[in-house]
Structure 1
């Protein structure tokens, strides 16, 4: 053994759940160390939209949108079923808003409730907004050198590859609803005129989403003196007579034995990019290339927990979303918004629709798996749109523009783009039966003119309409596909990360195969079996539970009582 290091609490990983846990433990007086495998901190949390799903928050109440906790609990219970014990769901609803209030009172974390509808508005207890919360923007220079050490935003969250947006701004810009063009001009002007910062980097100084979340958490840890070791992968857990006592970590070419006097919190992400684990557990077909999570998510915490005797659950589950991959990029691009916009559909390889394209990304991605069969494969499917869509909306790195400007589409996007002057010609390029595809488009068009979708009910729910184009009536998600040229790209059941993992209880304690807690070991976030089961109740239902159970875990370790 090269070295021994001692702390009270060891946190493995540096995403939102990890940093929330680290701050909470430090705030209770613990000597805390955070270790991160990657060269940058923040994980997938930093690259994400940064939203959190928190029922009955103080901010929502202050804005006049008080929530009924029992309704929230009934809502997630109806969605999740028996996949998660009720006591764990109760712990989440009871503590999520308390966690947020605690963090906003004691740390640099700042959020605002937003009018973002829950994803399943047809389920009792769903609300038309104010459970999802958006992080308040942060100026990058407040982070100093840590700005360069933090994971940058995912490419899909950047406009022109340079600046990001808040949830409200994203809704306007991506749907090109009234007010979008003035907002885009304003954001571009502010970006271009920030001349001192422009000399340093092409990235904007105004951080939003996951960068604002993780940046604020890092500032909070700095005030508590909590270090983050980068390039320091955990290789195994240390086991003593009383349970887990620490972990071994590799750093600067040395193997370090870290003794954790009070406990270890695993928050190291899922197994998104571990090909062997994806092949073993994920629905088929499966590929590690189809994940939008950071490439360092290879299941290290999961494997260490299993070696320590932990039980696992939901291993076939992930945060699904239709998406595509581009040459030269190291992770997938999820289609959060594009599917809900008018003059577009998704068809299988038989040229037929099979889903409500405007449903939540998790539902839509799940349908790609559920509906896949040999007669009409849905992996991959085709995202189809026309010249009207092309001229008004963004799709990946392809900015809105007339078909005459197609030569200026970035080369990686052009490589996956199919284009033809007729529907039948597009069918030939897609490899689908022309008559069946033409019939699908004709049926869709006939109903879309009336703002209806008799087959799948697209645009009926408040969530569907959230990312529709408000200038299109009577249904903001529907318009015919009728203006040539016509386009298509192949899409796959991608994911934001796997969410099956170590089984935990309502205190985030890792459970052994016999159902008893493994002393000294906790797990939060995607390394654990998701508190939301196989479902996605609303925007932020990944980070909200990660942070809440990180807070719960730290308080349990430190024996903090109300």
Structure 2
């Protein structure tokens, strides 16, 4: 029997959302928990993310708006099964659809304040059977991180949006000039921000709000001993069973045993370029919004211990651009809605349009990578006209009127008085680009994108302009008013999407399909239970929280007991 320096019931590696949900459940079961975080901050990738949870049939939805069977129908329609996607299965997807609403109810019972993310945040493939055109999203309410106390407030990882705003409200602000209601939202946020500064509050929203609230619940209930600067480098085995880990304490190896098991929620490998080159060639760590500790350490260690890795070529793509300052920005300049707005399309380096520019960011980047195998498409070019520049901010970098001189001077943005002149600026065939733009304009006037069906999904229009009235939908507008503009688009990401294969109880599996006893995993340490598809906003955070919770239930022997 291995010797340990300490023993807990439940050892958790990483401090993402799934770690916190598992710790709260273990506390309810009367078990001891330690959370070992490699970084100096708590919260993991969840903290930097939008913090959205995709929870079907959740408590915030109206009666009759969703059901277990509808959710399973949608997941089975959107997520293909196959030998290349062993992280998913009908049984695992159904487990998620059954358990996710229960997990949410439990978390709320622990004092974590949640709300519906929006009444209009459609599934990414809402046209498929079971898809919801309203919203299955759930988010945490904005949070004053000072509620954690001085010590822990400083240990919460920085979020991407540190203002007293609901995420849904924040997404409406770019359209403020069109709506008095949105103006009122803006002034309400501004007043709350000023009041917060005067009263010593430090507001965060999105993922930082979720993790701040989860951390507060864990601390208040003394649900876990949370340790930062505590990397794990080895899983300790006793025969075929995982029984502990080797971490670091005071600069020296420290062996911690887990009576009930170990939960791996250690993030992905977005910052390990060697692993990216091996598993997803053509992608770059520098384009990723992953966190600095996402280096795949536990992927490699779990493989050494016999775990099966799968879906390692997948990432949660999030298109970005190398706008001025991008290399030092905490959040890389995202372009998800840039090419989904009216008066914009995207072309490859042959000047040809090759995708629906709206839709899922995961599918967008996957399409770009696949295209690049046959036609150079990294970078691709977003093509816009003056109508776009007059109306919309560009890549979250502000409005053109104020910023155009520095954008052009930097070489990031290109401009041409005609489409042919723009083509010369970006090095694509002029006649091909002209034909592409003319074809697009014909689709706009004809009311239908006959090539890629942009605007036919509710989600495409969600990314567009709700106040746009001059086209067939909220995402299609002509590109005809010069001058014309282009910016480069790259296949960035918010994290990797492959890892160890798990069963419905979150147990880590070997190549032969048998579980490694005592070893559980959730989050992006795993091969996603959503396979190779991202079905809706929050399809990483929701499963992480749910399968971390399921792992704790199984390890504690709670079964289907009401918790």
For 2:480, which of 482, 495, 501 is the aligned residue?
482
**Secondary structure, in 3 states, of the residue corresponding to 2:363?**
helix
More moved, 480-489 vs 494-503: 480-489
Tell me the secondary structure at the aligned position of residue 95 of structure 1: helix
Write the deviation string for residues 180-215 of structure 1: whole angstroms up to 9, x where unpaired. Answer: 444334423432453326xx7xxx833211011100
2:225 to 209, 224, 227: 227
Matches within 5 A, 1:172-321: 172-175=172-175, 178=179, 179-196=181-198, 205-225=202-222, 226-282=224-280, 284-321=281-318
Residue 451 of structure 1 deviates from its aligned partner by 4.2
- Residue deviations 1:413-446 (CA, integer Å, cap 9, x gap): x452223333222212211111211221122123
For 2:536 and 2:78, locate their aligned partners in 1 and report how far apart those are by CA, in whole Å.
11
- 2:550 pairs, out of 537, 549, 552, with 552
Counterparts of 1:478-557 in structure 2, within 5 Å, are 478-557=476-555
Q: 2:144 aligns with which of 139, 147, 153?
A: 139
Matches of 1:229 and 1:485, distance apart in 2? 56
Single out whichever of 243-252 and 483-492 deviates more from structure 2.
483-492
Deviations 1:483-542 (A, max 9, x none): 333222211112121111001000000011221110110000000110000011111111
The alpha carbon displacement at 1:300 in A equals 1.5
Are 1:342 and 2:347 counterparts? no
What is the CA distance between 1:410 and its match in structure 2?
Answer: 11
Contact 2:333 2:397 in 1 (8 A): no
- Which is worse superposed, 41-50 or 178-187? 178-187
Secondary structure in structure 1 of the residue aligned to 2:372:
coil
Once the two structures are superposed, residues 65-106 of structure 1 have per-residue CA deviations (whole angstroms, 9 ceiling, x without a partner) of: 541211211211122222322221121111111110111112
Aligned-pair CA distance for 1:119: 0.6
* Alignment match, 2:453: 457
* Distance change in 2, residues 1:190/1:58 (3 Å): closer
Alignment CA distance shift 1:39-1:410 (3 Å): farther
Runs of 4+ in 1 over 6 A off after TM superposition: none
Q: What SS does the aligned partner of 1:338 have?
A: coil
TM-score (normalised: structure 1): 0.91
Partner of 2:157: 151
Distance 1:98 1:433 in 2: 55
Pairs aligned (count): 544
Cα pair 2:143 2:203 within 8 Å, conserved: yes
Displacement of 1:251 in angstroms is: 3.2
- Indicate the larger mover: 418-427 or 36-45: 418-427
Instruction: Structure 2: state its 5+ residue gaps.
Output: none
In structure 2, the partner of 1:8 is: 9
Conserved in 1, the CA contact under 8 Å of 2:347 and 2:354? yes
How big is each residue's C-alpha offset from its partner over 1:235-281, in whole Å with a ceiling of 9 and x where there is no partner? Answer: 11111125111101123312111111111000011111111111111
Instruction: Tell me the residue number matched to 1:20.
Output: 21
Q: Give me the whole-angstrom Cα distance separating, in 2, the residues matched to 1:495 and 1:405.
A: 26
Offset from partner CA, 1:335-374 (integer Å, 9 cap, x none): 3322221111111001111111111111211111222244
Q: CA deviation at 1:152?
A: 1.2
Distance 1:390 1:485 in 2: 10
Residues 80 and 337 (structure 1), Cα distance of their counterparts in 2 relative to 1, 3 Å cut: same
State the secondary structure of the residue aligned to 1:56: coil
Pairwise CA RMSD: 2.3
**1:158-173 equivalence runs, <5 A:** 158=161, 163=163, 165-173=165-173
- The residue that corresponds to 2:74 in the other structure is 75
CA 1:175 to 1:270, structure 2 compared with 1: closer, same or farther past 3 Å? Answer: farther
Contact kept? 1:289, 1:331, Cα under 8 Å: no
Pick aligned residue for 1:123 from 128, 134, 147 = 128
How many Å apart are 1:175 and its aligned residue? 5.0
Whole-Å Cα distance in 2 between the matches of residues 451 and 475 of structure 1? 8
2:444 to 432, 443, 448: 448
- 2:417 aligned residue: 421
**Partner Cα distance (1:5, 1:252) in 2:** 14
CA 1:105–1:244: 2 relative to 1, 3 Å:
same
User: Is residue 2:45 matched to residue 1:40?
Assistant: no
CA contact under 8 A between 2:122 and 2:459: conserved in structure 1?
yes
**Structure 1 435/504 Cα, relative in aligned 2: closer, same or farther at 3 Å?**
same
- Structure 1 residues 133 and 410: CA distance shift in structure 2, 3 A: farther
Is the alpha carbon distance of 1:126 and 1:213 closer, same or farther for their aligned partners in structure 2, counting shifts above 3 Å?
Answer: same
* Contact 1:335 1:361 survives alignment (8 Å): no
Q: Which residue of 1 aligns with 2:398?
A: 399
The answer to whether the 8 Å contact 2:52/2:137 transfers is: yes
Does the aligned pair in 2 maintain the 1:397–1:410 contact within 8 Å? no
> Partners of 1:410 and 1:235 in 2: how far apart?
47
5+ unaligned residues in a row in structure 1: which ranges? none
- After the TM superposition, which of the residue ranges 96-105 and 437-446 deviates more from structure 2? 437-446
Q: How does 1:373-392 map to 2 (within 5 A)?
A: 373-374=373-374, 376-392=375-391
TM-score, length-scaled by structure 2: 0.91
What are the Cα deviations for residues 373-423 of structure 1, in whole angstroms up to 9, with x where unaligned? Answer: 44x311211112223222322233421242x64236699xx4522233332
Change (3 A) 1:393 1:205: farther
How far apart are the structure 2 equivalents of 1:559 and 1:188? 48
